[in-house]
Amino acid sequence: MTDPSQATVELYTDGACSGNPGPGGWAYILRHPSTGKVVEHSGGEPATTNNRMELLAVIYGLESLERPCRVEVYSDSQYVTKGLSEWMDGWKARGWRRSAKEPVKNVELWKRLDALRATHTIITHWIRGHNEHPENERCDRLAVAAIEQYRARA
């Protein structure tokens, strides 16, 4: 149930990896529609996977919020959107195991997201990547730029 006193924000995210595993980058754009305020942030890791970067983009975006919000999360990662909207509750009920009894990959990140779900009302939206969606394209450029920082150091 949505709390009508919660501010609504839009969170656009993307993760990228050069090789999988390899150097990776994540990025988010956080928009507060009622004020027009927009915040962008990105970062990366020298050796990671694409799925980890997709998850971290959402985690860091949610962690940047100063109070509980209704968050419309836009991602081109079905791993993120389905994980949050369809799979996570089942994983938790099975002790963070998938239906095949295998441990959930990236479980420490999923647990962080689960804790953030307790604070924020999260609504996920899957968007097609590389399809001229302005915020998704911007996040992709930011995430790729984060990867380039690691390549420059190598």
Which residues belong to the active site?
14-15, 54, 76, 130, 140
Helix (H) or strand (E) holding 60, with range, is helix 50-63
Cα dihedral value 143, 147, 152, 154, nearest 10: 170
What is residue 141's three-state secondary structure?
helix
What's the CA gap between 61 and 58, in Å, rounded?
5
**What's the length of the chain?**
154
